[in-house]
Amino acid sequence: MKPWLLTLLVIAGCAGTLSWLIKSTVIPRFLAHANEERVADWYAAITECHAETGTWPDPVNSAEFGEKIYVMQGADGRRIERGYMHARPGHYSNGVLYDAYDQPMKVTRNGESLLVASAGADKMWSTPDDVTSDQVKERYQPSTVAKARAAAEDRAKKKK
């Protein structure tokens, strides 16, 4: 057997193994982590909006939800990009919040408590890979909009 042929076979085997490893391990772990972050970010944005406005945005009422979550102005009168979702990834359309797998999430409220949930990678509810906001609250960072407002106020001061 020619040495260059053996080298090609080794390279092809390594490439195949690496490809399998990425598809079977790396990408699923990345998406699972991104999904946890997405649930935490939606929870944070909705909770932050409630804390500031005193009312819960209703994701079923698409126009009201979009207005409450995405429209916000800083001290200088300029719109804060993406409002309460500022610096947070998230996809919302026609009254539906989407997870990292592009599947609809559930938002339920019981009194003053809120729960945001994703069905996870298998896209089926009530399975072990489901993710809920009570599992990922440690990512809840209410300072996101506060930072955006502070930056807007700094811009306004510098203009004076």
Q: What is the DSSP string of 58-114?
A: -TTSHHHHHHHHH--B-TTSPBPTTGGGTT---EEETTEEE-TTS-B-EEEEETTEE
3-state secondary structure of 23: helix
3-state secondary structure of 24: helix
Q: Is the pLDDT of residue 144 over 70?
A: no
Q: Write out the residue range of the structural domain in which residue 33 sits.
A: 3-159
Average of per-residue pLDDT values in the chain: 82
- Residues 84-112: tens digit of each pLDDT: 787 777 777 777 888 999 999 998 888 88
Entry pTM:
0.72
Q: Find the range with the poorest average confidence among 73-87, 107-121, 122-136.
A: 73-87
According to DSSP, the residues that pair with 113 across neighbouring strands are 110
Q: Is the pLDDT of residue 1 over 70?
A: no
Q: Is the pLDDT of residue 16 over 80?
A: yes
Q: How confident is the model at residue 156 (pLDDT cuts 50, 70, 90)?
A: confident
pLDDT for position 143: 59
- Residues 27-71: tens digit of each pLDDT: 888 889 889 888 988 888 888 888 888 888 887 787 788 778 877
Q: How confident is the model at residue 130 (pLDDT cuts 50, 70, 90)?
A: very high
Q: Is the pLDDT of residue 119 over 90?
A: yes
**Cβ 117 vs Cβ 73: under 8 Å:** no
